[in-house]
Amino acid sequence: MSPSTPSALDLATSVRSGERTAIDIVEESLAAIEALNPKLRAFLKVDGNGARQRAEELDAARQAGETLGPLAGVPIALKDNLCTRGLETTCGSRILEGYRPPYDATVVERLRGAGAVIVGKTNLDEFAMGSSTENSAFGPTSNPWDASRVPGGSSGGSAAAVAAGLVPVALGSDTGGSIRQPASLCGVVGLKPSYGRISRFGLVAFGSSLDQIGPLTSTVAEAAALFSVLAGPDPRDGTCDERPAPDSLAALEKRDVSRLRIGVPRAAFGAGVEASVTAACRASLDALSARGARLIDLDLDWSDLAIPTYYLVATSEASSNLARYDGVRYGSRAAGHEDLIGMITASRGAGFGPEVKRRILLGTYALSAGYYDAYYRKATQARALMGRQFAAAFEQVDVIATPTSPTPAFPIGEKSEDPLQMYLCDVFSVPANLVGLPGLSVPCGASADGLPIGLQLMARRFDETTLLQAGACLEDARPEPLGLPPIHRLAKGGAR
């Protein structure tokens, strides 16, 4: 597989028609993983035997005259916080090392039902807490465009796998930008649906009011197709909306850039945004304007609210969700301790990494007696205020555009000793999670160093149709595609 090979949609069509076999497509993907993953470290676990068995089953079903699903034979990678029956699911953490769930997440069931072939689990910041995939207990993932740089996070393994062509599509999770930011840094498309659009059953929780599952792909059409497969009600998730899944791919045929109203917050292109990011995003917006879209300046500035609000809400929910990993009910148990408190302390101390511990401590403090009103309650009030600000903005526009990330990919280790600088990477992405909006990152250019840059679009809650239509218009208007990343110079054997 590679970005120059057919899209996931073309691959599925070729399998359904008999032009190609699922097993041949899967073998190509596995060969690419074998050649490039040692350098990239995008995958934590590759299930070659399981993928081959599933591909052979699909080929046999087609030969028997059965109708195959919309993702027939398409290799897909899953972020390693999605429960997959019998396949190790670690969340990038030592505390879950060796854990094999006895069930599939709802999204995994839906992928299997659509004919997709799961080839493995991808690397991530531990428990999805990070913006660089450096916090994984199993080592960092590298960016396919420059192996000395981060791929973004926390879904960095999934983004890198798609960018490098190891798989045509992958799933990630997004709590504060964890799909969109790595999509931007790796030059792929990343969709965070509205909160409640896709079932979270089987997603290991980080922030339960913020988490959402979504696809990373090479094109907006692929993202639309996966969204239609994954979305829809699920009785096992009480926060999942009852709206049926829309036919988002068909809706792309009706896109009309001349009717598009794009809100551009003036504050989104101010201090802290690298000049190359501003230039690429502005050029893409100008290209949309030249095709008939209407650009509308917005006096919408969440810069003072977004990061502190998010990092109070998210850490508070993380503190609550991760309390279960105590070595008794969940998680690896430290040996050699006769008393319960000593065992729990040792288990959590050895099992969790520094960033997870930092967020648990921050969240526990914010929820503690005497501080709850001053911190967590204030954060929920600020969150409600942001919701009202966005609602007012959407009375004027169809989508809101900002950079996805204030910078292109940065060197591995550059921000790891400065948590605040790392947290600021999320300044444009966290509002969509706090308010529950759908967000989409689409590649819009590159820096002078050839590093990808993404433009983020946000739409009204549950209006993924307009969001994806706008993303397709942006894709139509953008400059030439970025091409193959330099990681392919290292390819050997079967990889292309």
At 190-207, the pLDDT tens digits run 999 999 999 999 999 999
Token representation of residue 297: 């300046």
Strands 169-174 and 212-217: antiparallel
Please report the pLDDT score of residue 337 as a whole number: 86
- With a CB cutoff of 8 Å and minimum separation 6, the contacts of 435 are 383, 386, 387, 390, 461
Within-domain flag for 209: yes
Contact assessment for residue 139 and residue 116, using Cβ atoms and an 8 Å cutoff: no
As annotated, the active-site residues are 79, 154, 178
Quick one: DSSP state of residue 480? S
Please report the pLDDT score of residue 2 as a whole number: 45
Within-domain flag for 249: yes
Residues in the chain: 496
Within-domain flag for 270: no
Residue type, 302: W
CATH code, 78:
3.90.1300.10
Within-domain flag for 196: yes
Please report the pLDDT score of residue 392 as a whole number: 97
Within-domain flag for 322: no
- With a CB cutoff of 8 Å and minimum separation 6, the contacts of 395 are none
Contacts 24+ apart (CB under 8 A), 319-327: 319/359, 319/360, 319/361, 319/362, 319/363, 319/364, 319/366, 319/367, 320/363, 320/367, 321/205, 321/206, 321/207, 321/208, 322/127, 322/352, 322/356, 322/360, 325/95, 325/96, 325/351, 325/352, 327/351
Cα gap 44→156, rounded to integer Å: 12
- Rounded (5°) CA angle 115-121-124: 135
Within-domain flag for 307: no
Block means of pLDDT (10 residues each) for the chain, 496 residues, are: 73 98 98 97 98 98 98 98 98 97 98 98 98 98 98 98 97 98 98 98 98 98 98 97 95 96 94 95 97 96 93 98 95 91 96 98 96 96 97 98 98 94 96 98 96 98 98 89 73 40
Within-domain flag for 352: no
pTM, whole model, 2 decimals?
A: 0.96
* Three-state SS letters, 301-317: CCCCCHHHHHHHHHHHH
Within-domain flag for 372: no
Please report the pLDDT score of residue 328 as a whole number: 93
Beta bridge partners of 170: 77, 216
Exposed, middle or buried by CB within 10 Å (0-12, 13-18, 19+), for 155?
buried
Domain range for 130 is 8-256+440-490
Total domains present in the chain: 1
Quick one: DSSP state of residue 45? E
Please report the pLDDT score of residue 495 as a whole number: 37
Strands 75-79 and 169-174: parallel
Q: Which helix (H) or strand (E) holds 257?
A: none
